Structure 1
Amino acid sequence: MGDASVHPTAGNAPAWAPLFAAWLVAATSTLGALYFGEVVELPICVLCWYQRIFMFPLALILPFGLFPPDRRIIRSALALAVPGALVAGYHLLLASGVIPKPLRPCEQGIPCSETVIQWFGFLTIPLLSAVAFSTIIALLVTAHRRSST
């Protein structure tokens, strides 16, 4: 009668843990971005804004998929996480100098290729964003597979 993906069953109970972990990553990323932008007042480049556009809604919609694990929310979250990961990957290549100068989209204002923060000699904000989006995608795919069994 109803959609089986909405009702809690023994088959989708294991999907809760990766979905919750994906929400934790998204919430931590959102709080970190807000902290660096609003408290530390770091300048925000254009690609960082695009990544925020994809990350912030994840922190808001993922909790709705937890009780019970909902495959529709997982698919919607993947629709945000995948393009966010692509933008983050492009930003990472741009910041590491792999992308040549003529292909750089944001040279006016705050350049996206500029490294503002670097911890341990390699950990940058574009790398953190790429890792966060990749982790969220892996967790969402895991949750989706677990909820379908």
Structure 2
Amino acid sequence: MTNINWQITGIFFTIITLFGITVIIFLLYQIFLNKFLKGKFKIKKDNAILYSFLIALTGLLGSLFFSEIAKYDPCNLCWYQRIFMYPLVIIFFIAYKNKYSKIFRYTIPLTIIGGTIAIFQYLLQMAPSIFSNSTLCSTGSCSQFFIIEMGFITIPFMSLIAFIGITLISFISLKKNK
């Protein structure tokens, strides 16, 4: 791929991330101001599982693109985030096929732990002086910027947006069961 193609790929993932931020703002509005919406914006269980599956699948394909095609060497924290993202693809796929709507109580721990790791790595990138003695990474560099778009969108930030999106969809879906 040429340098222009890499730039287009970076812009593509940036647009997906910005869309994710917009969806997260909407979901937060849905969670905290639902009493004012009077049920006008509802996410059906099947759709919630499908949306979560698509977010997790995008995270999986994006991480594989960056490591296998772009040849970015994933650090330890990237691998830990993958450990919590990759199973979500399989879990949500099976839940969607079997119409198992109670899956969210099992996926929330994965998304919260994965999101916490993403926050830590993002802080490591954006404020490296806080963690100057960190020896977490034996391969790759946990603080290295492979992508930095708009001054704040990095690969760990993209991961964080995915984890937050799935977590919020999960909480909305669980809230409907009560």
Same fold (TM over 0.5): yes
Q: Are 1:76 and 2:106 an aligned pair?
A: yes
Deviations 1:42-95 (A, max 9, x none): 111110000000000001111222232421x21221121110011011111111
2:131 to 83, 100, 108: 100
Alignment-derived partner of residue 64 in structure 2: 34
Q: Percent identity?
A: 31
Alignment-derived partner of residue 117 in structure 1: 147
Q: Report SS of the residue matched to 1:118.
A: coil
Cα distance in 2, alignment partners of residues 50 and 19 from structure 1: 23
Alignment-derived partner of residue 73 in structure 2: 43
Of structures 1 and 2, the one scoring higher in RCO (CA 8 A, sep 6+) is 1
Could you list the runs of 5+ residues in structure 1 that have no partner in the other structure? 1-12
Matches within 5 A, 1:44-63: 44-63=74-93
Could you list the runs of 5+ residues in structure 2 that have no partner in the other structure? 1-42
Q: CA 1:70/1:105 → structure 2, altered by over 3 Å: closer, same or farther?
A: farther
TM-score (norm. length: structure 2): 0.69
TM-score (norm. length: structure 1): 0.82
